């Protein structure tokens, strides 16, 4: 708990700093009122989205599957034309200057998209060559990642494990020293250890001055970004630092646990004084209507309902709580 608080304080300081910082820094990515619809306008994948990313920032797009993250990435990497709105990467317009953008950005699609029948080494060489550079020239940038791949360098890319594939894809996206790196759900389907490693790598890349946009459906990864945008159904619900987003959480949050969790959820949801109740692992996260109900009252009422081993505590909201709350309010 202590360490958590310490982290929050750090985050707070950092958040203030980065707010000041972002006011003066160069904008690497700007998105203005982008709209993209599919099926002749039936499905609005991206609905009036605007945001900015400063130089050297690690920016996260957080949202469930189908929220429009990939569409935004594809627009920014010039693979998709927006229906309306403008966007620029590194000062270049995504529609007019698409050729310049393609030389300067790195893109790692959500699906593994390297040549499975070429070896690790060949893939890396290939991508270096098409960007008119060599592996040796930018080796320092990928060195930390590539050393882990080195033992398998003659292996076909298709025969690598999931985590290794991701590392190779990241190397290939980095080999031409891009100014902005787009990572579309890089950690989806990757084990916990590899995910952690992956985020460590992103942090070290950030220190090299590369601006990174990353999308993820995992809320726990949100706190690892400097700024996050929470998206749902193609619209941005909130953009801020993770700390500020948590701070903006309007209610006091409680975690509730008892012996029969299924029945507990029903009981809580049927209680008119409970505003929201979501299941989070071992606990149900609960907010109260207008803060009327006191914690003690809730304990008594639940005990009367026959719940044993009752445990209730006040907690700091997580990004997921904020996400659920924002979704509920919509």
Query: Exposed, middle or buried: residue 179 (CB in 10 Å: 0-12, 13-18, 19+)?
Result: middle
Q: Using DSSP bridges, classify how beta strands 211-216 and 180-184 pair: parallel, antiparallel or unpaired.
A: parallel
Query: Is residue 37 within the footprint of other proteins (CB under 8 A)?
Result: no
Identify residues 42-81 at the interface with other proteins (CB under 8 A). 77-79
Stretch near other proteins under the rule CB under 8 A, chosen from 60-68, 95-103, 251-259, 311-319: 95-103
Minimum separation from the CB atom of position 127 to other proteins (A): 7
Query: Is residue 116 within the footprint of other proteins (CB under 8 A)?
Result: yes
Minimum separation from the CB atom of position 103 to other proteins (A): 5
Binding test (CB under 8 A) with other proteins, winner from 25, 83, 112, 196: 112
Identify residues 167-186 at the interface with other proteins (CB under 8 A). 172
Spatial neighbors of 258 by CB under 8 A, at least 6 apart, are 264, 302, 307, 308, 309, 310, 311
Query: Is residue 113 within the footprint of other proteins (CB under 8 A)?
Result: yes
Minimum separation from the CB atom of position 151 to other proteins (A): 21
Minimum separation from the CB atom of position 109 to other proteins (A): 5
Spatial neighbors of 100 by CB under 8 A, at least 6 apart, are 92
Identify residues 123-162 at the interface with other proteins (CB under 8 A). 126-127, 129-132
* Among 82, 80, 21, 79, CA closest to 48: 82
Query: Is residue 117 within the footprint of other proteins (CB under 8 A)?
Result: yes
Stretch near other proteins under the rule CB under 8 A, chosen from 28-36, 56-64, 118-126, 283-291: 118-126
Query: Is residue 313 within the footprint of other proteins (CB under 8 A)?
Result: no
Minimum separation from the CB atom of position 121 to other proteins (A): 12
Q: How far apart are CA 117 and CA 137, in angstroms?
A: 25
- Point out which residues bind other proteins (CB under 8 A): 77-79, 99, 102-103, 105-107, 109, 111-118, 122, 126-127, 129-132, 172
């Amino acid at each position: 708990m202590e360490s958590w608080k310490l982290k929050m304080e750090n985050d707070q300081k950092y958040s203030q700093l980065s707010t000041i910082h972002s006011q003066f820094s160069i904008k690497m990515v700007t998105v203005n009122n982008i709209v993209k619809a599919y099926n002749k306008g039936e499905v609005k994948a991206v609905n009036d989205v605007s945001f900015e990313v400063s130089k050297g920032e690690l920016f996260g797009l957080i949202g469930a599957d189908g929220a429009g993250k990939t569409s935004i990435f594809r627009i920014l990497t010039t693979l998709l034309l927006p229906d309306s709105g403008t966007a620029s990467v590194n000062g270049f317009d995504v529609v007019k200057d698409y050729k310049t953008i393609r030389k300067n950005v790195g893109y790692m699609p959500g699906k593994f998209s390297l040549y499975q029948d070429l070896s690790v080494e060949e893939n890396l060489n290939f991508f270096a060559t098409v960007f008119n550079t060599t592996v040796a020239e930018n080796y320092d940038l990928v060195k930390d990642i590539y050393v882990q791949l080195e033992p398998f360098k003659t292996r076909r890319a298709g025969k690598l494990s999931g985590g290794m594939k991701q590392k190779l894809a990241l190397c290939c996206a980095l080999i031409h020293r891009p100014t902005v790196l787009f990572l579309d759900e890089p950690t989806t389907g990757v084990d916990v250890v590899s995910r952690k490693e992956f985020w460590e790598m992103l942090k070290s890349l950030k220190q090299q001055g590369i601006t990174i946009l990353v999308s993820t459906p995992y809320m726990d990864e949100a706190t690892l970004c400097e700024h996050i945008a929470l998206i749902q159904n193609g619209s941005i619900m909130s953009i801020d630092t993770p700390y500020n987003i948590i701070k903006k959480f309007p209610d006091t949050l409680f975690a509730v646990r008892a012996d029969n969790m299924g029945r507990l959820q029903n009981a809580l949801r049927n209680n008119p004084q409970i505003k929201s109740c979501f299941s989070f692992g071992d606990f149900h996260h609960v907010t109260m209507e207008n803060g009327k109900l006191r914690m003690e009252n809730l304990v008594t009422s639940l005990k009367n309902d026959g719940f044993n081993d009752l445990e209730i505590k006040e907690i700091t909201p997580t990004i997921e709580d904020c996400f659920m709350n924002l979704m509920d309010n919509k």
